[in-house]
């Protein structure tokens, strides 16, 4: 194990500060390291491993598709991506068309390009500004980064894409000031992920829609982290009155394989023609065959009902924890199976202590613990995690 970690420190670009164990295999909601130590996983690959580890149907589909065809490029038709697009659209009545990508950031990039082209064709030059929110996270590529608020992520890489304004989240006045007729799109995470698990209120989302309509701007819901069942409905926006014009999804879409997608309305899709945008790998047969299984499973009423039940259980357990630790826990945050709490002190230290007790958790900023269990989580496992927090706090 130490040899592997030393090699990582020698050869990998140090973009992550990883703990001193090496993960080797997973089963259900548990991971095992190379020494055989077990971890209860409340990170799930950062909201990726919705069906946990070792799902039989996922593996079977992966093997069967690998034997048939891995890749032919988007120059040709293949069945899995078309079947997946059809299922995504039939489950998402607000949208008409899909563009597949390899990651979340690439789905955001596609949305940026489409918003620019749509605005140019509909309204002429000059309508090129994007509005995003404080504490937002939309990815690490230059366009997506320009829409990401955190200074630490942005400043070393300036200059970024120009014409981006930031508004305060859940603050209608601030948004009204930021919006204008030069805006081509407003991008919002209905539940902020990396930025600290803030939930957009229904009134605020209504305000986003109204201001977009007033200024003829597209509304883009970034559901890369909060979508695909995580808050109890397929898309988080479904629990509100709004309909976005664009939606980005990625993390859990292919059950651990890299896949993202941009969903658009027909009106927006109409400005796109062959050659306008593309990708070599995006939506290849292997990843989309697996995603078909993941999407079919997550979107069943029984599975969504399970998420809703676990979400209530999780919320109540967290409320009990917060009541018993008033000095340590400042505020409960999040929604569905995307929850956490703000603590008095350093979230990184709590995360390390949890690791020592065999529980993997994520952070969001300096002082928020972020909990993203696989969606197949059971009450006993929520209890197990919360007992460990009792001990740590």
Taking CB under 6 A as the binding criterion, the range among 98-106, 178-186, 209-217, 264-272 that sits at the site for ligand PLP is 98-106
* Cβ nearer to ligand PLP, comparing 248 with 381: 248
Tell me whether the omega of the peptide bond preceding residue 159 falls within 30 degrees of 0, making it cis: yes
Per residue, what are the HEC states of the chain?
Answer: CHHHHHHHHHHCCCCCCCCCCCEEEEEECEEEECCCCEEEECCHHHHCCCCCECCHHHHHHHHHHHHHCCCCCCCCCCHHHHHHHHHHHHHCCCCCEEEEECCHHHHHHHHHHHHHHHHHHHHCCCCCEEEEECCCCCCCCHHHHHCCCCHHHHHHHCCCCCCEEEECCCCHHHHHHHCCCCEEEEEECCECCCCCCCECCHHHHHHHHHHHHHCCCEEEEECCCCCCCCCCCCCHHHHCCCCCCEEEECCCCEECECCEEEEECHHHHCCCCCCCCCCCCCCCHHHHHHHHHHHHHHCCHHHHHHHHHHHHHHHHHHHHHHHHCCCCEEEEEEECCEEEEEECCCHHHHHHHHHHCCEECEECCCCEEEECCCCCCCHHHHHHHHHHHHHHC
* Cβ nearer to ligand PLP, comparing 55 with 189: 189
Contact between 104 and ligand PLP by CB under 6 A: the answer reads: yes
Closest chain position to ligand PLP (CB): 104
Q: How far apart are alpha carbons 43 and 376 in whole angstroms?
A: 13
* Cβ nearer to ligand PLP, comparing 30 with 189: 189
Exposure string for 154-179, b = 16+ CB within 10 A, e = fewer: eeeeeeeeeebbbbebbebeebeebb
Residue span 35-74 as binding mask against ligand PLP, x where in contact by CB under 6 A, dash where not = ----------------------------------------
Contact between 333 and ligand PLP by CB under 6 A: the answer reads: no
Taking CB under 6 A as the binding criterion, the range among 87-95, 103-111, 155-163, 325-333 that sits at the site for ligand PLP is 103-111
* Cβ nearer to ligand PLP, comparing 132 with 286: 132
Question: Do the Cβ atoms of 341 and 327 come closer than 8 Å?
Answer: no
Residues in 238-297 at the binding interface with ligand PLP, rule: CB under 6 A: 250-251
Taking CB under 6 A as the binding criterion, the range among 27-35, 104-112, 117-125, 165-173 that sits at the site for ligand PLP is 104-112
Q: How far is the CB of 8 from ligand PLP (least distance, A)?
A: 20
Cβ-in-10-Å burial (0-12, 13-18, 19+) of 21 comes to middle
* Cβ nearer to ligand PLP, comparing 114 with 224: 224
Backbone phi and psi for residue 366, each to the nearest 5 degrees, phi listed first: -75, -30
* Cβ nearer to ligand PLP, comparing 103 with 129: 103
Q: How far is the CB of 356 from ligand PLP (least distance, A)?
A: 27
Contact between 343 and ligand PLP by CB under 6 A: the answer reads: no
Total interface residues for ligand PLP by CB under 6 A = 14
Residue span 125-164 as binding mask against ligand PLP, x where in contact by CB under 6 A, dash where not = ------------xxx-------------------------
Binding-site member from 52, 80, 193, 340 for ligand PLP (CB under 6 A)? 193
Binding-site member from 49, 78, 103, 240 for ligand PLP (CB under 6 A)? 103
* Cβ nearer to ligand PLP, comparing 258 with 329: 258
* Cβ nearer to ligand PLP, comparing 223 with 317: 223
Contact between 222 and ligand PLP by CB under 6 A: the answer reads: yes
Region label for 179, one of left (φ > 0), alpha (ψ between -120 and 50) or beta (otherwise): beta
* Cβ nearer to ligand PLP, comparing 105 with 186: 105
Binding-site member from 105, 119, 246, 294 for ligand PLP (CB under 6 A)? 105
For residue 227, give both structure tokens.
Answer: 């979508």
Contact between 109 and ligand PLP by CB under 6 A: the answer reads: no
Residues in 224-243 at the binding interface with ligand PLP, rule: CB under 6 A: 224-225
Q: How far is the CB of 112 from ligand PLP (least distance, A)?
A: 12
Taking CB under 6 A as the binding criterion, the range among 180-188, 207-215, 218-226, 270-278 that sits at the site for ligand PLP is 218-226
What is the binding site for ligand PLP (CB under 6 A)?
103-105, 108, 137-139, 189, 193, 222, 224-225, 250-251
């Amino acid at each position: 194990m130490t040899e592997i970690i030393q090699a990582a420190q020698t050869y990998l670009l140090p973009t992550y500060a990883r703990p001193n164990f090496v993960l080797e295999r997973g089963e259900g909601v548990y991971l095992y390291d190379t020494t055989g130590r077990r971890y209860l996983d409340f990170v799930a690959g950062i909201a990726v491993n919705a069906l946990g580890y070792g799902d039989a149907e996922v593996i079977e589909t992966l093997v069967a598709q690998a034997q048939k065809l891995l890749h032919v490029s988007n120059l040709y038709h293949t069945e899995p991506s078309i079947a997946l697009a059809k299922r995504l659209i039939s489950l998402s009545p607000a949208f008409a068309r899909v563009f597949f990508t390899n990651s979340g950031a690439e789905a955001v990039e596609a949305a940026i390009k489409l918003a620019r082209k749509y605005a140019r064709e509909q309204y002429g030059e000059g309508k090129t500004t994007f509005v995003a929110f404080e504490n937002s996270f939309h990815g690490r590529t230059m366009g997506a980064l320009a829409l990401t608020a955190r200074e630490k992520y942005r400043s070393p890489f300036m200059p970024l894409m120009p014409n981006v304004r930031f508004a305060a989240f859940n603050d209608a006045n601030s948004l009204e000031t930021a919006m204008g007729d030069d805006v081509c799109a407003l991008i919002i995470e209905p539940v902020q992920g990396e930025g600290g698990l803030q939930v957009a209120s229904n009134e605020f989302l209504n305000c986003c829609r109204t201001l977009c309509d007033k200024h003829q701007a597209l509304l883009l819901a970034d559901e890369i982290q909060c979508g695909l069942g995580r808050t109890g409905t397929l898309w988080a926006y479904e629990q509100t009155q709004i309909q976005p014009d664009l939606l980005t999804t990625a993390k859990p879409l292919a059950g651990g394989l890299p896949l993202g997608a941009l969903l658009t309305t027909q009106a927006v899709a109409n400005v796109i023609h062959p050659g306008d945008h593309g990708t070599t790998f995006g939506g290849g047969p292997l990843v989309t065959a697996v995603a078909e299984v993941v999407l079919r499973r997550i979107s069943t009423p029984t599975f969504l009902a399970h998420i809703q039940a676990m979400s209530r259980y999780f919320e109540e357990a967290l409320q009990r924890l917060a009541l018993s630790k008033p000095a340590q826990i400042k505020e409960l945050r999040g929604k569905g199976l995307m929850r956490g709490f703000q603590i008095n002190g350093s979230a990184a230290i709590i995360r390390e202590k949890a690791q020592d007790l065999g529980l993997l958790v994520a952070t969001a900023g300096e002082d928020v613990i972020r909990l993203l269990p696989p969606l197949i989580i059971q009450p006993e496992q929520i209890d197990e995690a919360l007992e460990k927090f009792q001990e740590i706090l």
